Amino acid sequence: MKNCLGCRLANQNEKVFIIYENEHITCLLDHAPHHAGHTLILPKKHRAEVTDINPEESLSIMKASQLVANAIYALYEPNGVTICQNGGIFNELTHYHMHIIPRNEEAARFGELFYGNADIIEPSESLQETYEKMKSYINRILE
């Protein structure tokens, strides 16, 4: 879909930092990360809701979420990782996307983060630096 931002991001029609992709999905860094390593996973075909995703895409999303989470744990040593997806009126892209967000104990509570009440935390590094670390680590895992 030409007018869908999620489709444009997943298919590199916008400036994005892609850390992993396959024929079904694209993993890219969130342009406004809550923490360094905050990643989005999007199907390359237009899918608005989790209920629209076919089995191959679903499997690709889950495998990619494990790959990205492993990279985040290894590179950033967070206290945990939150993996979530917003549907319906809460899906600001109107395109299915899964967030993988490194989290630390001192950071905002889960609800504050997703309801816009969390303090803005400046990432510890630039998107380019995060991209280089994450892409390199993932490439090593896949070799």
Question: Residue 91: which domain range?
Answer: 5-142
Mean per-residue pLDDT for 31-57? 95
93-115: average pLDDT? 77
- The pLDDT value recorded for residue 2 is 73
Helices 127-142 & 55-76, crossing angle to 10 degrees? 110
Looking at the chain, the whole-number percentage of residues with pLDDT higher than 70 is 87
Q: Which helix (H) or strand (E) holds 62?
A: helix 55-76
Adjacent-strand bridge partners of 80: 103
Q: What is the pTM of this model?
A: 0.90
Q: What integer pLDDT is reported at residue 100 of this predicted model?
A: 97
| 3-class SS of residue 93 | coil
- Partnered with residue 100 across adjacent β-strands are 39, 83
Q: What distance in Å separates the CA atoms of residue 123 and residue 62, rounded to the nearest whole number?
A: 26
pLDDT at 105: 76
Q: CATH number of the domain that 135 lies in?
A: 3.30.428.10
Domains identified in the chain, total number: 1
Alpha carbon 2 to chain centroid distance?
21
